[in-house]
Every structure is written in structure tokens, then in C-alpha cells.
Amino acid sequence: MDSLRLGTYTFSSRLILGTGKFSSTSAMIEAVRVSGTQLVTVALRRFNSQQAEDDLFGPLSAIEGLTLMPNTSGAATAKEAIKAAHISRELSGSPFIKVEIHPNPHHLMPDPIETYEACKILAAEGFIVMPYIPADPVLAKRLEEVGCSSVMPLGSAIGSGQGLATAEMIRLIIRESNIPVIVDAGLRSPSEACAAMEMGCEAVLVNSAVAVARDPAAMARSFAKAVEAGFEARNAGLMPRSGAAVATSPLTSFLGAAS
């Protein structure tokens, strides 16, 4: 597979995994390993003595070839997101930052204004900026212009499993974008990830669909295959769609000839 380029990094896997909502750290680590993903998101939280054993930074750091992409979840403003980015870079050493600013807990929709302000500053500071955004083609272009390394439009609300509800908007974003478009949020099934790749996305980010599956490792493997399939299909050139039938077999009418 051609490599995915983000900032100065190249990845052979086009599946990005989130690490939240798994039943245990070991379940998450297994899913990460089995999927072949090379980029995972993590969040910042306050240290808690009781939860010290649940550290996932150590186990993730032990996986060869894995890069961390901290997110700014919890931030309600650009200022808070920038602060989270600085702390995350300090802790992880990774230049990646997923700018994720969603102040409303009911729908978790990203704030486009705070996101734009944060991205402008973080891109200028040299971060590899990956903004989580509504599927808005104008916003996507503005973010490209201020130096984001990709745009990550949502398929539907985080964890909702509603799939590619924004498909047509994502098509518009892809059409105009010079940077990778990565669908992030709301995907439920591998077929949806495949469809996103066929559409022209350069990668997909999946969390709940894997973490909440009955067998997360198997689901992660399935998503990895689907992402590869969709990417290859797109490169292979999908046939055109037609309103009418276009025959695949000859229609010579000899069968009804009088003898």
C-alpha cells in the first residue's frame, strides 16, 4: 500500500485507533497490536493513585512502530486546547495533536471557531495538527490554509454508531482538499470504513466500533482489512454507476429461432 503522509511521518497502515472505552488496558493493547495500526489517540487526565496500575502509556510505548496522537478532549476553548497540546507533547514527545474541542456533552460536536483558533497557533508552533471538525468544506479549507496536516471530519456523533451520515459533505471536502481527509467519529462497521476509503479518504479513525465490539481484537483486524480493501478499490478505479442495465453477457437471440 502507498504510504499515508502526515507532516514528516509516513504510515503504511491507514487505520487510526482510539484507545478509549475498552474494557481493560490489555484488551486495548491486543486490539492495537492485532490491527497493525501505527497511530493511536490518547487523552490527558489527572493522575490518580488508585488507578496507577491502569497506565497505558507504558504498554503503548512498548509497541514498536507506534506513534501517539494525544487529543485535547476536555478543552472547551482554544486556550485550553493549546495548554493540553503543550502538556501532551512534553509527556509523549510526539508532535501529533488531535485538536478536539467539544463543549456540549450531549452531542459532542466540535466548536469550529475555537478549533480554528487553536489550530492556527499550534500549526505555527510546529505541531502536526489533526483537527476534529464538523464535515464543513469551508472550515476544512480554512484549516488547510493555516497549516493543518489533515482534516478529520466526523461521520456522525462520537460513539453514536450512526455511520457516514455526512457522506456527501465529506465528498465535497475531499474534492477540494490538498491534505489528507480522515473520517473520524461515528463509524460502526468495517463496511463504513471501506466506503469512506472508496470515497477518497486517506485514513479512518475508529474508537467505539472496536472498543465496544464483543471481540475488540477481531473487530480491529476486520477494520484493518476493510480500510485496505477500500483504499485498493479506489486506486483500482471503480466502475461507473448507471440507471439502466449494461449487459455483461451477449444478448444474441438464437435460442428462440424456429427449427
Partner 1 sequence: MSTIGIILNGERKEVPAGASVADLLNSVGAESQNVAVVVNERIVRPDARASMLLQENDQVEILVFAGGG
Catalytic residues: 98
- The rounded distance, in Å, linking the Cα atoms of 205 and 182 is 7
Q: Which stretch binds partner 1 (CB under 8 A): 56-64, 137-145, 162-170, 219-227?
A: 56-64
By CB under 8 A, residue 35 contacts partner 1:
no
By CB under 8 A, residue 22 contacts partner 1:
yes
* Residue 245 one-letter amino acid: A
From the list 30, 34, 43, 200, which residue makes contact with partner 1 (rule: CB under 8 A)?
43
Going residue by residue from 127 to 156, which x/- string records binding to partner 1, judged by CB under 8 A? ------------------------------
Contact 152, 205 (CB under 8 A): yes
When the beta carbons of 159 and 190 are compared against partner 1, the nearer one is 159
Contact 102, 75 (CB under 8 A): no
From the list 35, 177, 207, 222, which residue makes contact with partner 1 (rule: CB under 8 A)?
207
Contact 88, 97 (CB under 8 A): yes
By CB under 8 A, residue 115 contacts partner 1:
no
By CB under 8 A, residue 64 contacts partner 1:
no
By CB under 8 A, residue 110 contacts partner 1:
no
From the list 4, 78, 158, 182, which residue makes contact with partner 1 (rule: CB under 8 A)?
158
For cell 472496536, what's the residue?
210
Q: Which residues contact 56 (CB under 8 A, 6 or more apart)?
A: 19, 25, 28, 29, 42
Q: Which of 137, 159, 156 is nearest to 196 (CA)?
A: 156
By CB under 8 A, residue 92 contacts partner 1:
yes
- The rounded distance, in Å, linking the Cα atoms of 176 and 13 is 24
Q: Which residues contact 160 (CB under 8 A, 6 or more apart)?
A: 186
State the minimum distance, in angstroms, from the CB of residue 149 to partner 1: 19
Q: Which stretch binds partner 1 (CB under 8 A): 80-88, 117-125, 175-183, 244-252?
A: 80-88
Measured in degrees and rounded to the nearest 5, phi and psi for residue 128 equal -90, 100
From the list 13, 73, 166, 222, which residue makes contact with partner 1 (rule: CB under 8 A)?
73
Where is 49: in which H helix or E strand?
Answer: none
By CB under 8 A, residue 58 contacts partner 1:
yes
From the list 8, 90, 245, 255, which residue makes contact with partner 1 (rule: CB under 8 A)?
90
From the list 71, 149, 156, 177, which residue makes contact with partner 1 (rule: CB under 8 A)?
71
Q: What is the DSSP string of 107-127?
A: T----HHHHHHHHHHHHHTT-
Q: Which residues bind partner 1 (CB under 8 A)?
A: 18-22, 25, 28, 41-47, 49, 52, 54-58, 60, 68, 70-71, 73, 83, 86-88, 90-92, 158-159, 185, 205, 207-208
